[in-house]
Structure 1
Amino acid sequence: MEITAEGIASRKKTKGALMFLRRTIAFASALALFAFPAAGADVKVGSKGFTENILIGEITQQYLDAKGIPAKLTSGMGSSVVRQAIVSRQIDLYWEYTGPALVNFHKTPGIPRAGMLAKLNELDGPNGLVWLDSSDVNDTYALAMRRETAKSMGLRTTSDLAAAIKAGKKVTFGCNAEFYSRKDGLMPMQEAYGFAFPREDIVRMDSGLIYQAVRDGQVDVGLVFSTDGRIPAFDFVLLEDDRQYHIPQVMTPVVTKEILAAHPQIRALLKDISSRLDEAGMAKLNAMVDVDKKTIPAVASEFLKSSGLVR
């Protein structure tokens, strides 16, 4: 059979079309599964893909169920996916973090913590979203080191780290892909402190692996979430963010206006949860999952009972 340039081009077009069709069908199927939760679920709760956010989603789902509001939890979504899900009404509520929401969803940096909630309600009003009472959990990014490593390097603040790198000291840094590229992530942080990690000293990895990498000495400094239970469990120290680069990330429930109209008691129920959460308590709950290896449903149930929210 003669092979011609036209034939090759035609095959490539056909193959490309088939691949596009398969991806489209797969995406539509996944969307259909996601968009239609189990029958009888009045409230569709969403969560992101890391321990803390899955846990607060589970707490919310269990508490709503206990109060007679059937709820279904869909967990494990990325930040942009869960945001789009609530805007498009594929979910009814989830817990978001104030600072990143202002920066990434509304391109509005520089809002003081005290004014974040009001500003978010103003900006998300046209989207039909309501930001309810915030918790006292400020789960911001932080730079963690093994205590002995920080001591031997003489590092206490991020400015100390910047000075060490500018002086030529080799310091390896582990971070996730999102922080590496996001607009309030690594590059702006380096600009704020006037330094830059050499490219070869940056190791990108999944967020959950960073803690192990720091603990095992695979990297010197790791990007962590400040309320993660592995920080005290592994005896890490956090470098002081002395220029206050990392914006407040206050964990706050976001709901649609429609679900509040259908179930107005949700406002008070979510306040029951948020008023019982602070950074130390959240770190303990996270540690129960990530260090003690308890299941997320079990930890959520234990929190609700110990907090007096359910019997």
Structure 2
Amino acid sequence: MKTLMTALTGLALAGTVASASANEVVVGGKNFTEQQIIASLTTQYLEGLDYDVEKRAGMGSAVLRQAQENGQIDLYWEYTGTSLINYNDVTESLSADETYQRVKELDGEKGLVWLEPSAANNTYALAMRQASVEETGIQTLSDLAAAVNDEKGLSFAMNAEFYAREDGWRPLQQAYDFRVGRSDVKRMDSGLVYQALRDAQVDVGLVFATDGRIPAFDFVVLEDDQNFFPAYALTPVVREETLAANPELEGQMNALSSLLDDETMATLNARVDVERETIEDVAESFLKDNDLL
């Protein structure tokens, strides 16, 4: 895998643009469960429609994006908020529709076409255990801020990326007017955050809104009552050249996108992360259940 990733990184950085061919599509995906599932869904779906598909999943976000811009990846599913902030450096507060329209416009100038967004919004969120919510009465991020400022001694877990990113931990504290000391924040791999919260090693954990472990572990997502987090609508993005060679691809991908929402993605994610089914089996059964395979 390391050798493969090195090779893909080299391809992405090389800047060589491949010409698109009809019915030949390279599908990309990032290196976490939801992206692995959606890459497998897309691959199996398009293969069932007689496309010649090459799947390159498990890539880092920035490398994947650059690979698409350079023509090495034809199609992958991106999150609107990620493109807005990380790839287009837009930091103003926008609604979900405004976010989509802005990235559609900005990425369109780069030859990338945003198709119809799904109803799955995999935004960042903070969660607590159900028992803790009942004990403390904390239900919103404003409630959480008040508890921190009242020196309730809450501890937090999050991944290193969120701790440092522009729409992450420090700006969140500024928006809600609270401050947590470094000693009360544990930085760890995203998967370990769920375990630490479940096992009561911390009081509050960073989660992704469509993660299947939220209902499985009886977590409660705290309401972002000041709308700090941007929308992260899961959306298929395809190179303009690829779409020109395969015009029917737009309608086909929009049909798949229309089937996805928060509950659906949480269920699919849980089948992999909690029930330990294989990504390929989960993707295949979803397509068959929806008469797409």
Q: Above 0.5 in TM-score?
A: yes
1: distance between equivalents of 2:7 and 2:226?
46
What letter corresponds to residue 76 of structure 1 in structure 2?
Answer: G
2: distance between equivalents of 1:74 and 1:27?
13
1: distance between equivalents of 2:179 and 2:25?
46
Q: Deviations over 1:171-203 (max 9, x none)?
A: 111101111111001110000000111100111
Give the superposition deviation at 1:76.
1.5
Work out whether residues 9 and 63 of structure 2, in 8 Å CA contact, stay in contact via their aligned partners in 1: no
Residue 277 of structure 1 corresponds to: 260
Residue 192 of structure 2 corresponds to: 209
Check 1:33–1:225 CA distance in 2 against 1; reply closer, same or farther (3 A cut): closer
What letter corresponds to residue 219 of structure 1 in structure 2?
Answer: V
User: Is 1:235–2:214 an aligned residue pair?
Assistant: no
Residue 116 of structure 1 corresponds to: 99
Residue 45 of structure 1 corresponds to: 27
Aligned length: 283
Residue 83 of structure 1 corresponds to: 65
What letter corresponds to residue 132 of structure 2 in structure 1?
Answer: T
Give the superposition deviation at 1:30.
5.8
2: distance between equivalents of 1:228 and 1:48?
15
User: Is 1:31–2:10 an aligned residue pair?
Assistant: yes
Give the superposition deviation at 1:154.
2.6
Check 1:110–1:265 CA distance in 2 against 1; reply closer, same or farther (3 A cut): same
Work out whether residues 272 and 309 of structure 1, in 8 Å CA contact, stay in contact via their aligned partners in 2: no
Work out whether residues 34 and 90 of structure 1, in 8 Å CA contact, stay in contact via their aligned partners in 2: no
Residue 291 of structure 1 corresponds to: 274
Q: Deviations over 1:215-267 (max 9, x none)?
A: 00111100001111111111111111111111111000111011111111111
Which of these residues, 188, 206, 214, is aligned with residue 223 of structure 1?
206
2: distance between equivalents of 1:28 and 1:303?
32
Work out whether residues 132 and 267 of structure 1, in 8 Å CA contact, stay in contact via their aligned partners in 2: yes
User: Is 1:136–2:119 an aligned residue pair?
Assistant: yes
The 3-state SS of whatever aligns with 1:68 is: coil
User: Is 1:180–2:163 an aligned residue pair?
Assistant: yes
Residue 147 of structure 1 corresponds to: 130
What letter corresponds to residue 51 of structure 1 in structure 2?
Answer: T
Pick the structure with greater CA Rg.
1
Tell which has more relative contact order, 1 or 2 (C-alpha 8 A, sep 6+).
2
Structure 2: where are the runs of 5+ without partners? none
2: distance between equivalents of 1:159 and 1:32?
45
User: Is 1:60–2:39 an aligned residue pair?
Assistant: no
Residue 309 of structure 1 corresponds to: 292
What letter corresponds to residue 152 of structure 1 in structure 2?
Answer: E
Query: Greater CA deviation, 171-180 or 77-86?
Result: 77-86
TM-score (norm. length: structure 2): 0.91
Structure 1: where are the runs of 5+ without partners? 1-25
CA RMSD after TM alignment:
2.2
Give the superposition deviation at 1:100.
2.2
Check 1:199–1:32 CA distance in 2 against 1; reply closer, same or farther (3 A cut): same
Check 1:187–1:29 CA distance in 2 against 1; reply closer, same or farther (3 A cut): closer
Query: Greater CA deviation, 108-117 or 51-60?
Result: 108-117
Which of these residues, 100, 116, 125, is aligned with residue 82 of structure 2?
100
Check 1:293–1:34 CA distance in 2 against 1; reply closer, same or farther (3 A cut): farther
The 3-state SS of whatever aligns with 2:205 is: strand
User: Is 1:264–2:243 an aligned residue pair?
Assistant: no
Work out whether residues 79 and 232 of structure 2, in 8 Å CA contact, stay in contact via their aligned partners in 1: yes
User: Is 1:158–2:137 an aligned residue pair?
Assistant: no
2: distance between equivalents of 1:185 and 1:155?
21
Work out whether residues 13 and 67 of structure 2, in 8 Å CA contact, stay in contact via their aligned partners in 1: no
What letter corresponds to residue 148 of structure 1 in structure 2?
Answer: A
Residue 14 of structure 1 corresponds to: none
Give the superposition deviation at 1:155.
1.2
What letter corresponds to residue 138 of structure 1 in structure 2?
Answer: N
2: distance between equivalents of 1:128 and 1:69?
22
The 3-state SS of whatever aligns with 1:289 is: helix
Check 1:110–1:232 CA distance in 2 against 1; reply closer, same or farther (3 A cut): same
Paired-residue identity, %: 49
